[in-house]
Amino acid sequence: MKLVSLCVAAMLIVGCGTEKKNKADVDRQPGLIGVPTLGVRNACAANSRLALSSPKSESEIYHYSYKNVPICSWYGRTLNLDSGSGLFIGQLEGKLGSLVVDEASEWPESQVVTSFIAGESGVLKADAVSADRCWYLTPELELLPAYDVTIVADDRTIKAVASGDQIFEIGSGGFDIGRISYQLEGQIGSVAFLETDSLDGSGFLAGKNFEVFTNNGTERAVSTNGNFDFGKSDFQFPQASAYANAELMLDWFDKLTSKAVDTECFPIDIKLHHVFVGGTVNNARYQPDVNTATGRPEILVGDGDGVRLTNLGTDPDVIAHEFAHHVVYRGVKDTNHFESVVIHEGLADYFVYSKTGNACLAETVCPLGSFDCIQPRCLRTGANSMSFVDQNLTSSPHGQGQIISAMLLDLANLIESQSEIPFVSTVAASINYLLPRSHLEDLIQALMLADRDLNAGRFACDIYQMAVDRGLGARIQHLKCAEYEAQK
Ligand SMILES: [Zn+2]
Distance 175 CA to ligand 1 centre (A): 5
Q: CATH 1.10.3720: does it fit domain 210-484?
A: no
Report the pLDDT value the prediction gives residue 52, as an integer from 0 to 100.
46
Report the pLDDT value the prediction gives residue 187, as an integer from 0 to 100.
36
102 forms bridges with which residues in the sheet?
21
Longest dimension (CA), the chain: 80
Report the pLDDT value the prediction gives residue 33, as an integer from 0 to 100.
61
Distance 487 CA to ligand 1 centre (A): 38
**Structural contact between residues 327 and 320, judged by C-beta atoms closer than 8 angstroms:** no
Q: What is the pTM of this model?
A: 0.84
Question: pLDDT band at 198, cuts 50/70/90?
Answer: confident
Show me where the domains of the chain are located. 18-176, 210-484
Alpha helical stretches, state H, 329-432: 338-356, 397-416, 423-430
Evaluate if residue 49 carries a pLDDT over 50.
no
Distance 347 CA to ligand 1 centre (A): 9
Q: From CA 61, how far away is CA 436, in angstroms rounded?
A: 10
Q: CA quadruple 430, 432, 433, 434: dihedral positive or negative?
A: positive
Distance 80 CA to ligand 1 centre (A): 33
Report the pLDDT value the prediction gives residue 17, as an integer from 0 to 100.
47
Q: What percent of the chain lies above the pLDDT cut of 90?
A: 50
Cα distances from 436 to residues 35, 65, 68, in angstroms, run: 11, 15, 19
Question: pLDDT band at 6, cuts 50/70/90?
Answer: very low
Evaluate if residue 404 carries a pLDDT over 50.
yes
Mean pLDDT (whole number) for 302-309: 94
- Tens digits of residue pLDDT in 409-439: 999 999 999 998 899 999 998 988 899 999 9
Distance 296 CA to ligand 1 centre (A): 18
**Structural contact between residues 483 and 449, judged by C-beta atoms closer than 8 angstroms:** no
Report the pLDDT value the prediction gives residue 54, as an integer from 0 to 100.
52
Angle of the 440-455 helix axis to the 338-356 helix axis, nearest 10: 40
Distance 148 CA to ligand 1 centre (A): 23
Distance 242 CA to ligand 1 centre (A): 16
Distance 235 CA to ligand 1 centre (A): 26
Distance 128 CA to ligand 1 centre (A): 25
**Structural contact between residues 179 and 142, judged by C-beta atoms closer than 8 angstroms:** no
Distance 285 CA to ligand 1 centre (A): 7
Mean pLDDT (whole number) for 160-179: 84
Q: From CA 333, how far away is CA 350, in angstroms rounded?
A: 18
Distance 247 CA to ligand 1 centre (A): 18
Distance 205 CA to ligand 1 centre (A): 24
Distance 47 CA to ligand 1 centre (A): 21
Distance 345 CA to ligand 1 centre (A): 5
Report the pLDDT value the prediction gives residue 298, as an integer from 0 to 100.
94
Evaluate if residue 11 carries a pLDDT over 90.
no
Question: pLDDT band at 375, cuts 50/70/90?
Answer: low
What's the gap between Cα 162 and its chain centre? Answer: 21
Rounded mean pLDDT of the chain?
84
Give 189 or 353, the one with higher predicted confidence: 353
